[in-house]
Amino acid sequence: MKKEAGKAKHLVVISYDAFSEDNWEMASGLPNLSKLIKNGAFSTKLKSVYPSLTYVAHTTMVTGVYPDKHGIFHNNPFQPFVREKEQRWYWYKKDIKVPTIYDAVKEHGMKTAGILWPVTGKASITYNIPEIRAINNENQALKILINGSPIYSMGMEMKFGRFRRGIEQPYLDDFTTMCAVDTIKRKKPNLLMVHLIDLDDAKHAYGTDSEEVNRAIISMDKRLGDIRKAVEEAGITQDTIFLVIGDHGQINVRYKIRLNNLLKEKGLIYEENGELKWRAYVQSAGGAAYLHIRQDDEEAEMLATAVLKKAMKDDGYGIESIYTGRELEDFHMDPSVSYMLEAKRGYYFEDSLEHPYILDLEEQGLTHATHGYSPDKADYKCILIISGDNIKKEYQLGDVEMVDIAPTMAKILGIDFYSCDGRPLNEIFVK
């Protein structure tokens, strides 16, 4: 890899989790985002990946390749019968199978920083607070110190830890923003990656069209203002480009579907010596799901696919499609994946064997929205803004792919990144 003439010395990447096209009308009129739009290029048609989950999308952003190459297919490794709150996630950089943009930036002698960026545990990032969660009585602070940059993480905790209340919002994103502001002023990293989660949490809990979502968008703009101000105070405004990006949309849901109960009825999930076993298992990805089959168990494959195809004919189970073969190739699934299920709007999947098989959330007085669906779902695209000197002003991009982000970051910083699935968005640059 070689260093070329870049478009800026500093790149600030702000991931607004779940920032999607349905938020554009409100968000684009707010003070700070509107200034970035006027000073840059934007798209409301950024296509996510499949399944449209946070860790899958963020890994694609920094590698420029699809999941079949980078290896992150889900937020969580496959852990049948383990409760969601107790599951491990793909927290560690070692699980990514290809080079990342932050590796390349560091190889060129430039400084990198990551604050709660997914899949960065033990990464090569200069100043790193990885997104990682304590489970099974682990110590949260210790886990971050071990897997991030210890001195940097400890310093941020001592300065701003008192403002955080675990993962509760808006306090977590406030903490993240304070860390970003301090890092810009004191460290001036060439690449800063920040992951803000408030909007995603609000959509999950209250639905996509709730007042809580509106409040999160307003808070989001204020945080963006704090980060912009830090860049100004650091004296690097003319040398900085901002990249603001959403990773997926969300869809309001009414029905929670527990398909593993159907497999259990057929004996494909069973108990042996007091322990649950499986021959076929549905691993939920929210609006999509993987069907896992025991290796070389042709009978289990035949029974499981028959059960699910029958369920697909019943509108109550909310199965829109069962993808296989060429369809999965088009979605860039690993060849080891033989079947994926896609949920209809208003439905989502859960691994649990709890009853009922179909849970009506509205009857329970609950609101919920989720993601994971095919990126081809209507009105489900993400937002992208790239703003700063050397970027065309108020330039409207058309369709953009998530794999285009890493090569565009490389172009901004003047790095000849490896050949990947995406392309640099050369049309946004003034020269």
- For the chain, which residues make up each domain, given as ranges? 10-250+377-428, 252-370
Distance CA 222, CA 99 (A): 33
CATH superfamily for 10-250+377-428 is Alkaline Phosphatase, subunit A (3.40.720.10)
Whole-number pLDDT of residue 300: 98
Q: Give CA separation, 339 vs 77, 301, 308, 359, in Å.
A: 17, 10, 11, 24
pLDDT one-digit tens code per residue, 326-357: 999 999 998 889 999 999 999 999 999 999 99
Q: Tokens standing for 161? A: 């830890």
pTM (two decimals): 0.97
Q: How far is CA 350 from the centre of its chain?
A: 19
Q: Give SS3 for 254.
A: strand
As a whole number of Å, the end-to-end CA separation of the chain is: 22
- Is 3.30.1360 the CATH number for 252-370? yes
Q: What is the DSSP secondary-structure string of 42-62?
A: EEEEEE--SS--HHHHHHHHH
Share of the chain above pLDDT 90, in %: 93
Distance CA 74, CA 55 (A): 7
**Residue where the block lists tokens 């590698």:** 63
Tens digits of pLDDT across the chain (431 residues): 455 679 999 999 999 999 999 999 999 999 999 999 999 999 999 999 999 999 999 999 999 999 999 999 999 999 999 998 899 999 999 999 999 999 999 999 999 999 999 999 999 999 999 999 989 888 888 999 999 999 999 999 999 999 998 889 999 999 999 999 999 999 999 999 999 999 999 999 999 999 999 999 999 999 999 999 999 999 999 999 999 999 999 999 999 999 999 999 999 999 999 999 999 999 999 999 999 999 999 999 999 999 999 999 999 999 999 999 999 999 999 888 999 999 999 999 999 999 999 999 999 999 999 999 999 999 999 999 999 999 999 999 999 999 999 999 999 999 989 889 999 999 999 97
Q: Tokens standing for 368? A: 């919920």
Q: What is the DSSP secondary-structure string of 360-390?
A: ETTTTT---EE--S-TTSTT--EEEEEESTT
Whole-number pLDDT of residue 4: 67
Q: Count other Cβ atoms within 10 Å, centred on residue 387.
A: 24
| Helices (H) then strands (E): counts for the chain | 14, 19
